[in-house]
Amino acid sequence: MALRVLATMIMVIAHQAHGSGRGSMGLASGITDPPIAGICSTSVSVHGYRCHEIDVETQDGFILSMQRIPEGRDGGGDTERPPVLIQHGVLVDGMTWLLNPPEQNLPLILADRGFDVWIANTRGTRYSCRHTSLQPIMNRCLNLLLQPHLDQYKWPDVLLAAVLRGFWNWSWDEMVVFDLPAIFDYVYSQTGQKAHYVGHSLGTLIALASFSEGLLVDKLKSAVLLSPIAYLSHMNTALGVAAAKVFAGEITTLFGLAEFNPKGEPVAKFLKALCDYPGVDCYDLLTSITGQNCCLNASTVDLFLKNEPQSTSTKNMVHLAQTVRDGVLAKYNYGNPYFNVMHYGEAKPPIYNLSNIPHNLPIFISYGGKDALSDVRDVELLLDSLKLHDVDKLTIQYIKDYAHADFIMGVNAKDIVYNQVVSFFNHQH
Ligand SMILES: *[C@@H]1O[C@H](CO)[C@@H](O)[C@H](O)[C@H]1NC(C)=O
Ligand SMILES: *[C@@H]1O[C@H](CO)[C@@H](O)[C@H](O)[C@H]1NC(C)=O
Ligand SMILES: *[C@@H]1O[C@H](CO)[C@@H](O)[C@H](O)[C@H]1NC(C)=O
């Protein structure tokens, strides 16, 4: 069985590396002027809020898309409003925050409650798939490019493969080193204020890793971590565990660096193979990945499945799988001591030591009893590593019935979580 999955995986990677993968996103229809409706127009302005699309460049040349909602539906943008930066998790993008009706979703609630809201989209997702140093023709999500236009431009295979390897050559380490600093710097440069932060899932892991390295903390007022992930050893979704086993085989060293596009046919095949694993039930894919969510609205889930999942790099999936396997929060493991020494000067990848997070940083953690990705036992490990944190700077909320997706899409998340988040922010001065 494992062999079969691995064989599928080889197909996935080979297929994508040769640029013949045909995703099902169907968005591309012109290279110079791609008809992309941004998140502002599809999900914010329609509800009567002002919204700006913004591009932010990272030091390693990625162009990240952000949305700024500077005021509430009834205005109020003239007064000084505290900025809040909202960071989504893996395999989704900033739009997931906006799928519920306006009175139920976090960004618009924050805008109506007096905040200047900034939504981030990590590298590789639909709107953050551009890079400065690639040729203009490549200056769009490569995933989109690989579809109808490829033949027309006749890129030599070797050249294309090289560009692809460069483009997808990152894991969440690069989000820590490049993405978060770029967006924090940008928000600071525009507002002159330190920002509050809200992260979900991978958005919590990269934040914790950053804070532990002393990054961002001079531009940060407080941090809210929903479904926090730092340790993943107890992850109890059968699908997740099966996937982690396959990825932890360090497939990138065997098969090269490529896109992991869950909407593309090759990855769909890969998922299907995983679903044949004993104990894995893919009847309800969202549940089999996130755990039994208590409080989702069926129309929101439909919207979610139309817009997500989003691409990430295979290397990022491998890095996450290493976190599951190794039980420590460490940098990407190159798979053998020689390569690790080349990259880090040490045989093992350096760890992110969470005890180094400044003890006086105001942190709010909210976690759920039914969350299959952010398992209660792993959250307890995280809390244990924060045991030296100043007691009055750490707020912890436990929600018995919540699973992973309830925190972003729960119909009652406003009452249970977001109101607490707002009052937590209002208490920081
Ligand atoms: C579910 O979502 C639909 C569409 O946004 C909305 O009309 C409906 O009120 C929502 N239901 C609940 C219980 O919030
Ligand atoms: C990928 O990035 C690493 C540094 O993080 C670099 O050493 C390596 O050469 C890069 N590989 C490719 C194919 O770009
Ligand atoms: C993490 O840092 C703390 C204090 O800064 C230190 O006591 C501890 O040994 C470190 N842990 C590891 C695994 O290096």
* CATH number of the structural domain spanning residue 344: 3.40.50.1820
In a domain, 350, yes or no: yes
Per-position b or e across 310-319, b if 16+ CB within 10 A of its CB:
bbbbbbbbbb
Number of domains in the chain: 1
In a domain, 101, yes or no: yes
Is the distance from CB of 399 to CB of 366 less than 8 angstroms? yes
For residue 11, the model assigns a pLDDT of 35
pLDDT at position 322 over 70: yes
**Nearest CA-CA partner of 348 in 356, 337, 357:** 337
Is the distance from CB of 329 to CB of 208 less than 8 angstroms? yes
| Highest mean pLDDT of the ranges 91-95, 166-170, 201-205, 297-301 | 201-205
Contacts of 119 (CB under 8 A, 6+ apart): 39, 66, 67, 68, 69, 86, 94, 97, 98, 107
In a domain, 17, yes or no: no
**Nearest CA-CA partner of 91 in 369, 308, 257:** 308
For residue 349, the model assigns a pLDDT of 96
HSE-up of 9 (CA within 13 Å, CB side)? 25
For residue 287, the model assigns a pLDDT of 80
Which protein residue has the closest C-alpha to ligand 3 atom 4?
A: 355
Per-position b or e across 218-251, b if 16+ CB within 10 A of its CB:
ebbbbbbbbbbbbbbebbebbbbbbbbbbbbbbb
C-alpha 407, offset from chain centre: 14
pLDDT at position 21 over 50: no
Test site for ligand 3: of 329, 354, 355, most ligand atoms within 8 A of the Cβ? 355
| Least confident interval from 63-72, 124-133, 137-146, 152-161 | 137-146
pLDDT at position 236 over 90: no
For residue 388, the model assigns a pLDDT of 95
Is the distance from CB of 56 to CB of 64 less than 8 angstroms? yes
In a domain, 13, yes or no: no
Is the distance from CB of 362 to CB of 222 less than 8 angstroms? yes
pLDDT at position 35 over 90: no
> Does residue 45 have its Cβ closer than 6 Å to ligand 1?
no
In a domain, 271, yes or no: yes
Q: Which of 371, 375, 378, 406 is catalytic?
A: 371
Between these two residues, 58 and 1, which has the higher pLDDT value? Answer: 58
Between these two residues, 10 and 207, which has the higher pLDDT value? Answer: 207
371 is catalytic: yes
* Residue 54 tokens, joined: 């913004």
Confidence of residue 15 (pLDDT cuts 50, 70, 90): very low
For residue 107, the model assigns a pLDDT of 98
In a domain, 125, yes or no: yes
| Least confident interval from 3-17, 71-85, 302-316, 360-374 | 3-17
Q: Which residues constitute the domain of residue 376?
A: 39-426
Test site for ligand 2: of 134, 163, 169, 254, most ligand atoms within 8 A of the Cβ? 169
**Nearest CA-CA partner of 227 in 281, 290, 183:** 290
Between these two residues, 170 and 141, which has the higher pLDDT value? Answer: 170
In a domain, 111, yes or no: yes
| Highest mean pLDDT of the ranges 36-50, 207-221, 293-307, 309-323 | 207-221
**Nearest CA-CA partner of 354 in 211, 167, 156, 217:** 211
Confidence of residue 36 (pLDDT cuts 50, 70, 90): low
Query: How much is the pTM?
Result: 0.87
| Least confident interval from 99-108, 223-232, 237-246 | 237-246
Residue 355's CB is within 10 A of a number of other CB atoms, namely 11
Which protein residue has the closest C-alpha to ligand 2 atom 3?
A: 169
Report the pocket of ligand 3 as residue ranges, CB < 6 Å.
351, 353, 355-356
pLDDT > 90: percent of the chain:
54
In a domain, 28, yes or no: no
Q: Which of 128, 201, 212, 374 is catalytic?
A: 201
* Residue 308 tokens, joined: 């997500």
Cα distances (Å, whole numbers) of residue 273 to 8, 11, 250, 276, 309:
7, 12, 19, 5, 18
For residue 283, the model assigns a pLDDT of 63
Per-position b or e across 361-381, b if 16+ CB within 10 A of its CB:
bbbbbbbbebbbbbbeebbeb
